[in-house]
Every structure is written in structure tokens, then in C-alpha cells.
Structure 1
Amino acid sequence: MVYLNDDFEGGETEFENLFTVAPKKGSAMVFYHPLRHEGKILISGKKYVLRTDVIYYNK
């Protein structure tokens, strides 16, 4: 996920019992999707992200 802006309040990504990532414009976050995570409530403004999935299989 790439954060496209950071002119808002709230909207952090929280990984359950691990850590929280505060959005910063231009930063990217790559993680193993089955990790329990959630986007926290946006308090003000609008949050824009670019999101994609990378799917691979071990042979």
C-alpha cells in the first residue's frame, strides 16, 4: 500500500497486538495479508492510498 497523502487525522493501520503504522505521504507498506490488521477511523480529511496484491505460489 502506498500512501498518497497525509493531510488528514487518524487513519493509521494497526496490526493486532504488534504495532501501528501512521500514514506518511509517499511511504509504502508491504505485509503478509493474513496478519490481522485494520484501518483506524479517519477523524478528519480524506485518506488516499494505492493498494494492490502480490500473489505467488511455492512450487
Structure 2
Amino acid sequence: MTRQQRYRAEIRNVPEKEIYRMVTVATSKPRIHACYQELLHRKNLRIANLQEKIDS
């Protein structure tokens, strides 16, 4: 497991506001990248849920 994967696993259940705060204080690139990946993933899930509601 890479550092980025480990960091992402750590923040999986963290609220979005907290992740944004973590990005501002993070110093390592893998941690910053993991935060952005998680935020992007959540955004894509929201879009998919909206799309499902529209289609049904």
C-alpha cells in the first residue's frame, strides 16, 4: 500500500470541511493528493446520485 493509499484510507470517513482544512495545513504531496482524490471522488458520487434521480 502506497503512502497516498494509506492517507486516503485515513480520511475516508472524515467530513468534507475537515478535508479542506487538512489540505491547507498538509505538507507532503502524497497527503495533499490523497485529499484532492477523496474530494473528487465524493463530488463524482454526488453527480452520479443526481443523475440517477433524473433518469428514474
The TM-score, its normalising length taken from structure 2, stands at 0.27
Q: Which has the higher contact order (CA 8 A, sep 6+)?
A: 1
Higher strand share: 1
Higher helix share: 2
